[in-house]
Amino acid sequence: MEYVRVSTHLKGLNQNTSFFRDHAPFECLKALVIPKLIKARKQEKTIRVWSAGCSIGHEPYSVAMVINNFNLPGWYISILATDIDPRMTSATHTGIYNDIEEVPDNFKRYFHRINGTWQIDKDLRKIINTSVFDLNGQWPGMPKMDIILVRHVLCHLPDKNVDTIIKKIAQTLRHDGYLFIGQGLPLAKESIKRWFYPYNKDGFRPVMTGKHCCYVLN
């Protein structure tokens, strides 16, 4: 049996995840967010994404597959994948998975079989930068992001921390960038209502596509 020493502050964290989790956010990326960003960034040809609380990488790689499918030669695509737990960022960096059943068939080509497991293609691994980062801690300087995903993370944190994190997220997102959080979070977390429309008319506004909404600031 192998024993892994885990710092006390990492014990009991919920690290559930899956490829294309909840489906609808990825439909929203495909149908609305990426096409809009391709237009808006046609001069600089750069899209920066941050998956905060990335677990073992299913979320950032799902985004990477969607963007890669747009075939954007000459563009700089960068996905920052961070987690409080170094075991998660290390697994994300390796990009090896036992099971890719939830991956839609047309995206399975991004995986290669190695020793009974599946490794994500190296071209997608190259655009993912991993880093250990506690959302409750000091935020390092980072470039402004076009897309931020903080899904199924904030619901596990105390209200007062979530309030501070949303404020910092608003400062880190470009003025026309997109925020993905767990659906219903602004209503479920009383303390953060003030960052969202209609409680704040200058706050994050929902953008609906089909069943899902993401949020924009302008």
Ligand X SMILES: C[S@@+](CC[C@H](N)C(=O)[O-])C[C@H]1O[C@@H](n2cnc3c(N)ncnc32)[C@H](O)[C@@H]1O
Residues that bind ligand X (CB under 6 A): 13-17, 21, 53-55, 58-59, 83-85, 88, 134-136, 151-153, 156
When the beta carbons of 11 and 175 are compared against ligand X, the nearer one is 11
Find tokens 């979320």 and name the residue.
59
Q: Nearer to ligand X by C-beta: 17 or 117? A: 17
Cβ 115 to ligand X shortest distance, Å:
25
9 or 112: whose CB is closer to ligand X? 9
Cβ closest to ligand X, residue 48 vs residue 92: 92
Q: Which two tokens stand for residue 136?
A: 């409750």
Q: What angle do CA 209, 212, 213 make, to 5 degrees?
A: 80
Distance of CA 147 to the CA centre of its chain: 8
| Least distance between ligand X and beta carbon 22 (Å) | 8
CB closest to ligand X, residue no: 53
Give me the least distance between CB of 48 and ligand X, in Å please: 17
In angstroms, give the least distance from the CB of 197 to ligand X: 23
Question: What is the b/e burial string over 180-213, where b = at least 16 CB atoms within 10 angstroms of the residue's CB?
Answer: bbbbebbeebeebbebbbeeeeebbeebebeebb
Return the half-sphere exposure (C-beta side, CA atoms, 13 A cut-off) of residue 211.
Answer: 7
